[in-house]
């Protein structure tokens, strides 16, 4: 059992990209699927699929690389951890690195990017940062 399944998701994606894997398998959960959907919408991964071939369903995440086979995910960091939750109000959600860093925020309206949270005028728990 993992004490932090979101950190496990991020670590598997980071390790798969470092090892130049085409895809990585991750145990399925609803929040992990939502995070993967955001990563796909932002263009960091090429796609995902949910497989039920084994006893437990898994998410197969297809990683994305540039023309020189360098991973597009250069930085994937867990911010809010089970032992220390990090919440930001709308005024604290300033763009990082001139908008190049995407933060995934858990709001009362569900998971979304920091750009979407600013557009909707919402704050929430900062799950991770990606660039």
Q: What is the pLDDT of residue 129?
A: 97
pLDDT bucket at 122, cuts 50 / 70 / 90:
very high
- Distances from the Cα of 130 to the Cαs of 43, 52, 57, in angstroms? 11, 28, 26
Please report the pLDDT score of residue 82 as a whole number. Answer: 94
Render pLDDT for 15-59 as a digit per residue (tens, 0 to 9).
999 999 999 999 999 999 999 999 999 999 999 999 998 899 999
Mean pLDDT of 63-92: 95
What's the CA gap between 107 and 125, in Å, rounded?
7
| pLDDT at residue 2 in the model | 64
Question: Are 110 and 117 within 8 A, CB to CB?
Answer: no
DSSP-derived secondary structure letter, 44: S
Identify whether the C-beta of residue 112 lies closer than 8 Å to the C-beta of residue 84. no
Quote the percentage of the chain above a pLDDT of 90.
Answer: 92
């Amino acid at each position: 059992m993992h004490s932090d399944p979101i950190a496990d998701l991020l670590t598997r994606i980071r390790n798969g990209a470092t090892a130049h894997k085409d895809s990585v398998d991750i145990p399925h959960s609803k929040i992990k699927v939502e995070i993967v959907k955001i990563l796909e919408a932002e263009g960091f991964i090429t796609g995902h699929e949910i497989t039920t071939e084994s006893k437990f369903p898994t998410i197969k995440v297809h990683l994305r690389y540039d023309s020189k086979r360098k991973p597009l995910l250069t930085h994937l960091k867990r911010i809010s951890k089970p032992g220390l939750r990090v919440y930001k109000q709308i005024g604290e959600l300033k763009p990082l690195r001139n908008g190049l860093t995407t933060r995934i925020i858990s709001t009362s309206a569900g998971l979304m990017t920091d750009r979407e949270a600013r557009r909707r005028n919402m704050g929430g728990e900062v799950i991770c940062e990606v660039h």
